[in-house]
Amino acid sequence: MSKGRSEAAAGASGILLKYLQEQNRPYSAQDVFGNLQREHGLGKTAVVKALEQLAQQGKIKEKMYGKQKIYFADQDQFDVVSDADLQGLDAKILALTAKVQSLQQTCRHMEAELKELTSALTTPEMQKEIQELKKECAGYRERLKNIKAATNHVTPEEKEQVYKERQRYHKEWRRRKRMATELSDAILEGYPKSKKQFFEEVGIETDEDHNVKLPDP
């Protein structure tokens, strides 16, 4: 292969890899060619060869559906946040929030009691009690300050980010499930066997096979 052809092949591979990763849905070689031909001027032969090369290199995945090959991005490269992780973060947020509220309430009670004592005629015993209350209140304030300044708890911003990530993954899960269903339904229109036989032959595993249910948004 000449240098010019090598560079063209490498360029096509880069374009196709980026496209499959950004779209993150299954395509046939004909689909990819039709979607990119006008913008990048890729020939169908170059598209087919580039997709096969990327699959051989392990950069994308390849599956056979009947007589047609389908290509899609390697799903292992995408992060997954489980419901258990989200529930753990929620529990941690609730515990820290309750702790902060408890300390704030204690300080308010201390301040109210101190104000009431200082407004009355003081005696040596009352002066001593006031000093003890001031010291105790200062201790609670220091604890509250340490909690607010700590770097190992979940901030409201981090909590909001976790919820946004969960919503994004939930939306992506639903979108991929819908695309997979639409694709399999389209293939089954011309498939001579049952849906169950089709899934067994091509190695498709559904959420239901693993007792996995799409969580509520």
Same domain as 57, residue 12:
yes
Distance CA 139, CA 134 (A): 9
The last residue of a domain, from among 110, 137, 153: 153
Q: What is the pLDDT of residue 132?
A: 80
Residue 3, pLDDT score = 39
DSSP single-letter state for residue 59:
S
Residue 216 lies in a domain: no
Q: How would you write the pLDDT of the chain (217 residues) with one tens digit per residue?
A: 433 444 455 678 888 888 888 888 888 989 888 888 888 888 888 889 988 988 888 888 888 888 888 888 877 666 655 677 677 777 888 888 888 888 888 878 777 776 665 655 456 666 677 778 778 878 888 877 777 776 666 667 777 777 777 777 777 878 887 887 888 777 777 778 787 887 777 777 777 777 767 666 6
Q: Does residue 215 belong to any structural domain of this protein? A: no
Residue 121, pLDDT score: 47
Backbone φ and ψ for 62, nearest 5 degrees, come out as -135, 135
Q: Edge-to-edge strands of the sheet including 68-73?
A: 27-28, 68-73, 60-65
Confirm whether 217 is domain-assigned.
Answer: no
CA separation for the pair 62, 71 (Å, rounded): 5
Rounded to whole angstroms, how far apart are CA atoms 200 and 106?
Answer: 63
CA distance 49 to 123: 95
pLDDT score for 1:
44
Statement to judge: residues 60 and 85 lie in one domain: no
Q: Is 142 inside any structural domain?
A: yes
Domain extent for 94: 79-120
Are 69 and 1 within one domain? yes
> In terms of domains, do 6 and 69 share one?
yes
Residue 93 within a domain: yes
What's the domain count of the chain? 4
CATH number of the domain at 45, please: 1.10.10.10
Predicted model pTM: 0.34
pLDDT value for 152: 62
- Rounded to whole angstroms, the Cα distance separating 196 from 208 reads 13
> Are 8 and 62 in a shared domain?
yes
Is the same domain home to 53 and 28? yes
Residues 58, 74 contacting (CB under 8 angstroms): yes
Name the domain boundary from 36, 53, 73.
73
Q: Kindly give, in sequence order, each residue whose CB lies less than 8 Å from that of residue 73, ignoring residues fewer than 6 positions away.
A: 20, 21, 23, 24, 60, 61
Of 153, 168, 197, which residue constitutes the final position of a domain?
153
pLDDT at 7: 47
